[in-house]
Chains A and B, each alone.
Chain A
Amino acid sequence: MSDRELIINFLEKAAKRARFNKRFNDIAIALAIAFVVPVLFKLLDLLFLFRGRTVVTFLSLWAVATVVWIVTRLRGKSSLSQVAGSIDSKEHLHDQLKTAYWFIQNPRHSEWVDAQIHHTAKAAGKLRLDSIFPRRFPRATYLACGLLFLLVALNFIPLSLNYNWLALQAAPPFRLTDAERTSLQNALRLLEKAKAADNALIAEKIEQVIENLEQGNITLEEATRQLEELQQELEAGDLDSENMANGLAQMAAILRQAKALQRAALQMSRGDLGEAANQIEAVSEQLDALSPGDFQDMADKLQQASERPRSGLQDLAKSFQMTGSALQRGDKTASRSGFDRIARELQDLAKQLEEQALASEAGDELGDLIDALQEGADPQESAGAPSAGKSNDKTGKSAAGEGEKGEKGGEAEAGEPPQEGLEQGEPGEGGEQAGEGQAGDNPGDTSENMPNGKGGNSFGGSTKSAPLEGEATLLEVQLQKEALKIEGEGGGNEPNKDVEAAGERERSKLDYRNAPSDLTPAQKDLLSQDRIPWESRQLIKNYFQAVKPTQTK
């Protein structure tokens, strides 16, 4: 083998070894740098909980970028001249190999050149590739392995919010907070209690909405909207309940005028329909002991109470009418039968109202959940505490939720917990109702007759809706009054009289709640909500109690 071939062979072997080492080193360095990215991403995942799609997308992009980068790095191939230069540098050969290679590639007839090549060939024979390009793991390999180990270890950190990517786990698109989950469970539990077929369906829908939200199938706004619809559906019966409660109170007020029915009427007015049923049964049993005057009295009042029944009380009113007729006739058997029927109707009503109360309570819980979700979607707009709900895709959803927050927040404030409403609604606090009460339908109402407190609902209706205070305001009259008020502005005291007179003349007998309307029950509910701030209610109540006229017994 000639000196030239010897040098070329040596350089080719060296180039192979150098290429292998360089590639190994490049891959190790590339991986060491590249692994920093998923490790940081995993650390961020522990804080911000990326959803599965995000994780898969990111890791796929990272993998592709890493492969492209590595391929790009590996693509270059060093020439033999570069390898010769590298060996010269490592072995302090003062460009001997590089010069010899150049002379081999560019031959010239010179003894000096031949001498140089010969000298270089001898030197190359003494060189050992293992010492020039040793086979060993580059330091970057250890770093890459360390980062890989860290990445794996991070997946196994026993944290509740840590998802193991290696087990193909990732954070759901949305995760309810503990408070939100409690509200949801309370709502579902109450719906379960209510047991009505519709409620079961609504419960299923709520669960479906939450599941869709957690899986990212729907946005937070969409989920909130659907939940609001379900809440409206749940609270749709509130107005009926209130209407029924109001009607029962009116009936009770009438029945109370009959001495024999006073106890039952008292229980009815208190909302204890079960006890009222018992009292009715007791009356039925004691029919023989009653005088014909009592019979007549009861018959009159039952007939009177059966007139113009409110929605949902038609059956009860019919029972009142039948029983009144039987009493009128003096037919004790029919009367007993009638009273039993009244008792059954009352018990049915009690059950119906109780279910509606539970549904309403569930609606309130659902409302809390909606509020929490909305606050979580945009905590800046919310006046309350920081986000209760937590969106995993913060940017898009939060931004989309803007605009509605102020309004929603206002609604949330206007609503009040049902427990508080019930606490306030104790007997004896309805005095102002008597003061404000309208003489139309219930001329005899007093504070004793109307034990329901302001803001409370002793029938278990939602306190979120407008509380019952005396007679319902008549819409037409209100409008008339407003119109006259505008005309009379700047006209001194005289127009006020006109307003009053006009109001009296135009007083409508139609309850505005029975007026035909295109509004949905939920919209009606919204309109009837009490906007008095919770913290001011006691003050206002005290004020009206202080200024009310003294009652004369």
Chain B
Amino acid sequence: MSAAIEQQVEGFQKLFTRVKQEVAKVIVGYDDIIECVIMSLLANGHVLLEGVPGLGKTRLVSTLADVVHLRFSRIQFTPDLMPADITGTNIVQENAQGEKFLQFQQGPIFANVVLADEINRATPKTQSALLEAMEEKTVSVGKITYKLEPPFFVLATQNPLEMEGTYPLPEAQLDRFFMKLKVDYPSLSSLHTILNRTTRSQEPVVERVLDGPQILEMRKTVKAVPIARPVQEYAIRIMMATHPNTEYAHALTNKFVRHGASPRGSQAMIVGAKIRALLNNRVYVSTDDIRSCAMGALRHRIILSFEGEAERVDPDTILKGILEGIPEPA
């Protein structure tokens, strides 16, 4: 390994670890979630956090925003939230001469890290306001398209329990999330640590260890990691195995899946795998890396069929079956 690359990899690992450590000062017991959230940030993706209330999802996002030293905004999604409340709108202004003109008032989307809290409480129309921003990193209002400042990172949370007054995210919206992470209850020891930290007078303070340019540099490093075609094919095979009634479809897919993952799924797997490879001090992607990212990258991209919904099949179960069923490339 050449010295420059070695240094690059080392720097990547160092920064990643520092961010993780800082976030972990506040968020306890969710190392994997933290790692995946940082990975998503470095992969130029967005994260959907799903978990019951009170598990620290919002805290995680705000802590991350503090650590990475980026502009942070929070949008509380409610049923009456309008798209303009997110993107911003043109408002009538008057200049010194008394002439009136329309001036664009930026919405909360114009930030580096956007927390879309309880995103499923807003109507699909409002949810869709994020579509362009998340994929194109632009916001179109009227005839003008505004470019969002990189890095742009959306972290959305949703509550899986309350179905009343919620609107499930449209498939197109879901597909734009790099990963969907499930936040479960912390363990007993983690809860002790959480209580110790949150019920005392001094709360932990995080340092800003990463800024926007560093993030962009790290993103470049990630993209430079090479991947061999057989490994890439392995990722594609996994993605295609989620497509029902196709040549590569898994038996579980044919039974319980209506629509499989889009190519964004395989993109997410590979980019995530590259970050994993760098974190493991490797300059190439292995199938292990692909496997480790497959769940987070594909679980929200699988649309269950009526049978799957009726039998309450977890997409993770289908993905496990697929990962076990697909042989590693020779």
Across the interface, do B2 and A115 meet the contact criterion of CB distance under 8 Å?
Answer: yes
Across the interface, do B287 and A119 meet the contact criterion of CB distance under 8 Å?
Answer: no
Is A81 close to B, CB under 8 A? yes
Is B144 close to A, CB under 8 A? no
Partner of A99, one of B1, B280, B286: B286
Across the interface, do A115 and B1 meet the contact criterion of CB distance under 8 Å?
Answer: yes
Min Cβ gap A483→B in Å is: 88
Is B229 close to A, CB under 8 A? yes
Query: Measured between alpha carbons, how far is A118 from B1 in the docked complex, in Å?
Result: 6
A82-B330, A95-B231, A115-B2 known; A110+B286 contact, CB < 8 A: no
Partner of A96, one of B6, B229, B230, B284: B284
Binary A-proximity of B204-241 (CB < 8 A = 1, otherwise 0): 00000000000000000000111011110000000000
Binary B-proximity of A94-138 (CB < 8 A = 1, otherwise 0): 111011101100101011111110110000000000000000000
Across the interface, do B228 and A96 meet the contact criterion of CB distance under 8 Å?
Answer: no
Across the interface, do A115 and B5 meet the contact criterion of CB distance under 8 Å?
Answer: yes
Across the interface, do B228 and A79 meet the contact criterion of CB distance under 8 Å?
Answer: no
Min Cβ gap A537→B in Å is: 80
Q: Chain B residue with minimal CB distance to A94?
A: B286
Is B314 close to A, CB under 8 A? no
Across the interface, do A113 and B226 meet the contact criterion of CB distance under 8 Å?
Answer: yes
Query: Measured between alpha carbons, how far is A111 from B224 in the docked complex, in Å?
Result: 9
Min Cβ gap B229→A in Å is: 6
Across the interface, do B229 and A111 meet the contact criterion of CB distance under 8 Å?
Answer: no
Binary B-proximity of A65-105 (CB < 8 A = 1, otherwise 0): 00000000000000101100100000000111011101100
Min Cβ gap B1→A in Å is: 4
Residue count of chain A within 8 Å CB distance of chain B: 23
A103 contacts which chain B residues (CB < 8 A)?
226, 228, 284
Across the interface, do A85 and B328 meet the contact criterion of CB distance under 8 Å?
Answer: yes
Is B4 close to A, CB under 8 A? yes
Is B288 close to A, CB under 8 A? yes
Partner of A95, one of B6, B283, B287: B287
Across the interface, do A112 and B225 meet the contact criterion of CB distance under 8 Å?
Answer: yes
Is B282 close to A, CB under 8 A? yes
Across the interface, do A99 and B231 meet the contact criterion of CB distance under 8 Å?
Answer: yes
Across the interface, do A99 and B330 meet the contact criterion of CB distance under 8 Å?
Answer: no
Min Cβ gap A85→B in Å is: 6
Q: Which of B147-181 contact A (CB under 8 A)?
A: none
A95-B284, A99-B286 known; A111+B4 contact, CB < 8 A: yes
Query: Measured between alpha carbons, how far is A82 from B288 in the docked complex, in Å?
Result: 17
A98 contacts which chain B residues (CB < 8 A)?
228, 230, 329
Across the interface, do A79 and B330 meet the contact criterion of CB distance under 8 Å?
Answer: yes
Query: Measured between alpha carbons, how far is A352 from B329 in the docked complex, in Å?
Result: 97
Partner of B283, one of A85, A106, A108, A116: A116
Across the interface, do A110 and B226 meet the contact criterion of CB distance under 8 Å?
Answer: yes
Across the interface, do A99 and B4 meet the contact criterion of CB distance under 8 Å?
Answer: no
A115 contacts which chain B residues (CB < 8 A)?
1-2, 5-6, 283
Min Cβ gap A516→B in Å is: 90
Query: Which residue, A85, A98, A118, has most C-beta atoms of chain B within 10 A?
Result: A98
B229 contacts which chain A residues (CB < 8 A)?
102, 106
B6 contacts which chain A residues (CB < 8 A)?
115
Q: Chain B residue with minimal CB distance to A81?
A: B330
Residue count of chain B within 8 Å CB distance of chain A: 24
A100 contacts which chain B residues (CB < 8 A)?
284
Count of chain A to chain B residue pairs whose CB atoms are closer than 8 Å in the complex = 68
Query: Measured between alpha carbons, how far is A113 from B283 in the docked complex, in Å?
Result: 8
Q: Chain B residue with minimal CB distance to A89?
A: B328
A95-B228, A102-B230 known; A111+B5 contact, CB < 8 A: yes
Across the interface, do B226 and A112 meet the contact criterion of CB distance under 8 Å?
Answer: yes
Q: Which of B268-323 contact A (CB under 8 A)?
A: 280, 282-289
Query: Measured between alpha carbons, how far is A82 from B230 in the docked complex, in Å?
Result: 12
B224 contacts which chain A residues (CB < 8 A)?
110, 112
Min Cβ gap A348→B in Å is: 99
Query: Measured between alpha carbons, how far is A79 from B329 in the docked complex, in Å?
Result: 12
Binary A-proximity of B1-17 (CB < 8 A = 1, otherwise 0): 11011100000000000
A108 contacts which chain B residues (CB < 8 A)?
226
Query: Which residue, B231, B284, B285, has most C-beta atoms of chain A within 10 A?
Result: B284
Query: Measured between alpha carbons, how far is A118 from B282 in the docked complex, in Å?
Result: 12
Query: Measured between alpha carbons, how far is A145 from B225 in the docked complex, in Å?
Result: 52
Query: Measured between alpha carbons, how far is A110 from B225 in the docked complex, in Å?
Result: 10
Min Cβ gap B290→A in Å is: 10
Partner of A94, one of B1, B2, B5, B282: B282
Min Cβ gap B289→A in Å is: 8
A106 contacts which chain B residues (CB < 8 A)?
228-229
B285 contacts which chain A residues (CB < 8 A)?
99
Query: Which residue, A79, A85, A94, A96, has most C-beta atoms of chain B within 10 A?
Result: A94
Query: Measured between alpha carbons, how far is A79 from B280 in the docked complex, in Å?
Result: 28
Query: Measured between alpha carbons, how far is A98 from B287 in the docked complex, in Å?
Result: 11
Min Cβ gap B130→A in Å is: 34
Query: Measured between alpha carbons, how far is A106 from B6 in the docked complex, in Å?
Result: 23
Query: Measured between alpha carbons, how far is A114 from B6 in the docked complex, in Å?
Result: 12
Min Cβ gap B30→A in Å is: 26
Across the interface, do A99 and B5 meet the contact criterion of CB distance under 8 Å?
Answer: no
Query: Measured between alpha carbons, how far is A103 from B289 in the docked complex, in Å?
Result: 18
Query: Measured between alpha carbons, how far is A95 from B6 in the docked complex, in Å?
Result: 19
Query: Measured between alpha carbons, how far is A98 from B232 in the docked complex, in Å?
Result: 13
A116 contacts which chain B residues (CB < 8 A)?
1, 226, 283-284
A95-B288, A96-B286, A99-B284 known; A112+B5 contact, CB < 8 A: yes
A94 contacts which chain B residues (CB < 8 A)?
280, 282, 286-289
A81 contacts which chain B residues (CB < 8 A)?
230, 330
Across the interface, do A102 and B283 meet the contact criterion of CB distance under 8 Å?
Answer: no
Partner of A112, one of B230, B280, B283, B329: B283
A82 contacts which chain B residues (CB < 8 A)?
330
Query: Which residue, B6, B230, B231, B283, has most C-beta atoms of chain A within 10 A?
Result: B283
Q: Which of B1-37 contact A (CB under 8 A)?
A: 1-2, 4-6
Binary B-proximity of A168-200 (CB < 8 A = 1, otherwise 0): 000000000000000000000000000000000
Query: Measured between alpha carbons, how far is A225 from B224 in the docked complex, in Å?
Result: 94
Min Cβ gap B236→A in Å is: 15
B286 contacts which chain A residues (CB < 8 A)?
94-96, 99
Report, nearest first, the 9 A-B pairs whose CB atoms are least far apart: A94-B286, A95-B286, A102-B228, A115-B1, A99-B228, A116-B284, A99-B284, A115-B5, A82-B330
Cβ contacts A to B, 30 pairs, < 8 Å: A81-B330, A85-B329, A94-B282, A94-B286, A94-B289, A95-B328, A96-B282, A96-B284, A96-B286, A98-B230, A98-B329, A99-B228, A99-B284, A99-B285, A102-B229, A103-B226, A103-B284, A106-B228, A108-B226, A110-B224, A112-B224, A112-B225, A112-B226, A112-B283, A112-B284, A114-B2, A115-B1, A116-B226, A116-B284, A118-B1
**10 further interface pairs, Cβ-Cβ under 8 Å (given A95-B288, A98-B228, A116-B226):** A85-B328, A85-B329, A98-B230, A99-B285, A103-B284, A111-B2, A111-B5, A112-B224, A115-B1, A115-B5
**Residues of B that sit less than 8 Å from A by CB:** 1-2, 4-6, 224-226, 228-231, 280, 282-289, 328-330
